[in-house]
Structure 1
């Protein structure tokens, strides 16, 4: 197995929204804000090469939205999905599977592009299967008013129309021992319905793609929950269990949204679970 970080682009989000009820005087110590109260955010995806499979976890925002839309998110840096794939030695047509942790636009927007004459949309990975789960698909295609702006029709429906959409069936428990894609999956419902977090066994280490259960290293303390979460009290419970497991089992936490910290480990302290070490992807992969 080989792993490759795929940097799909950087943007900014409101620091208050990213940290919920936590005061700015506290969160700004780890995630400093600019004059507009915006903090640095990454769209860091992960590519898994295993046998004849090339699995891409999440795809970032994509490029098809309007200038006005992207203006809300203050894009910065020169990363892109295609450039990162090329740097890893691949092309989007090589991808066999696209696994989406959930269908918010910053996680799946790169799965769909404009067609050649911009009269409609087409999947961006023509040879890939697109993986979600039926509960989350129902949630995303019939969105509540709180998440409606995050579930964009043009990011989601073309995957179904292509015939390339596949569902992962959630078991009775929150953890799925999955063999089809080669990694296990933790389901979490606090941020959005049935978010999926891959647990990857890599050279004796467990690499966890944290998605929005742990957006940045600054979110390690259990009460530091995003204002975007639909069920924040449930996130508290899910996050407490996960972070304690991460400390006890020495998980390597791959951070999708932390623009400055790629992989971290955590440990138990008198104050609760806290940061242990920070690694670059090159250190681990």
Structure 2
């Protein structure tokens, strides 16, 4: 097995929304905001070579939306999905599986491309993986969350016939080396891959833990649909990460790819940060 970091660029989101009830005087120390109160965040995906399969976990925001849409998110950086795949020696046509942790636009946008006046899967040879519970949640969204579930990012996947569902069963074995954990606070039935890699357990955190700045338990995003559920899930997941010595892979941290945790007198805190290639 090999793991490859796939950087797809940076975007900006409101700092207050990203940290919920935590005051700016506190979160601004770790994630400094610009003059518009916006913080920079990564869209860091993961490529897994596993038993003849090439599995891409999440796809970034993509490039098919219009200028007005992108003006809200200030995309920047030199990396793209295609350039990062090429850096690892691959092309999008090599991808056998696209694993979508959830269907918010910054995770699924790159899964679909615009070809003239049509929308089509960006990975023509891949099977796309979601779960039925989350899919139904996304295609029939609530009023609060529907701005994150864009039909043009989602429906073409199903219409292509390339979509398959994973059972919403915690611990489901996606491959011999990848099992799936589920979290329900950020959005319904978000999937977190737990990967056995070089004798380590690497947990892809998606939006349960966006960055090292979110490690303290009360640091919960205002974007989360069920913040008290997120609070409970964070405590369970992060405690387990300490007990089982997980390496946490961070999708949105603008600086840090991976981290480990430890228990301190102040609670669960950051132990180390490092890049994936250092494992």
- SS of 2:173's partner is coil
Return the TM-score normalized by structure 1.
0.96
Deviates more, 1:180-189 or 1:59-68: 180-189
Deviates more, 1:217-226 or 1:243-252: 243-252
What CA distance in whole angstroms lies between the structure 2 residues aligned with 1:239 and 1:51?
Answer: 31
- CA root-mean-square deviation: 0.9
Match of 2:154 among 143, 153, 156: 156
CA offsets 1:224-280 (integer angstroms, 9 cap, x no match): 000000000000000000011111111111000001111000000111100000101
What CA distance in whole angstroms lies between the structure 1 residues aligned with 2:29 and 2:244?
Answer: 28
Q: Which residue of 2 aligns with 1:125?
A: 123
Quote the offset at 1:181 in angstroms. 7.0
Quote the offset at 1:170 in angstroms. 1.4
Whether the 8 Å contact between 2:172 and 2:181 is mirrored in structure 1 is no
Return the TM-score normalized by structure 2.
0.98
| Structure 1 residue 88 corresponds to structure 2 residue 88 | yes
Unpaired segments ≥5 residues, structure 1: none
What CA distance in whole angstroms lies between the structure 1 residues aligned with 2:243 and 2:50?
Answer: 28
Match of 1:135 among 133, 144, 157: 133
CA offsets 1:83-107 (integer angstroms, 9 cap, x no match): 0000000000000000000000000
Q: Which residue of 2 aligns with 1:168?
A: 166
**What pairs up with 1:69-88 in 2 under 5 angstroms?**
69-88=69-88
Quote the offset at 1:179 in angstroms. 4.2
What CA distance in whole angstroms lies between the structure 2 residues aligned with 1:181 and 1:131?
Answer: 16
Unpaired segments ≥5 residues, structure 2: none
Q: Which residue of 2 aligns with 1:191?
A: 186
Whether the 8 Å contact between 2:58 and 2:101 is mirrored in structure 1 is yes
Quote the offset at 1:40 in angstroms. 1.1
Q: Which residue of 1 aligns with 2:259?
A: 264
CA offsets 1:165-216 (integer angstroms, 9 cap, x no match): 0000112xxx223144741111000000000000000011010100000000
CA offsets 1:29-73 (integer angstroms, 9 cap, x no match): 111111111111000000000121000000000000011111100
What CA distance in whole angstroms lies between the structure 2 residues aligned with 1:120 and 1:182?
Answer: 37
| Structure 1 residue 35 corresponds to structure 2 residue 30 | no
Quote the offset at 1:18 in angstroms. 0.1
- SS of 2:187's partner is coil
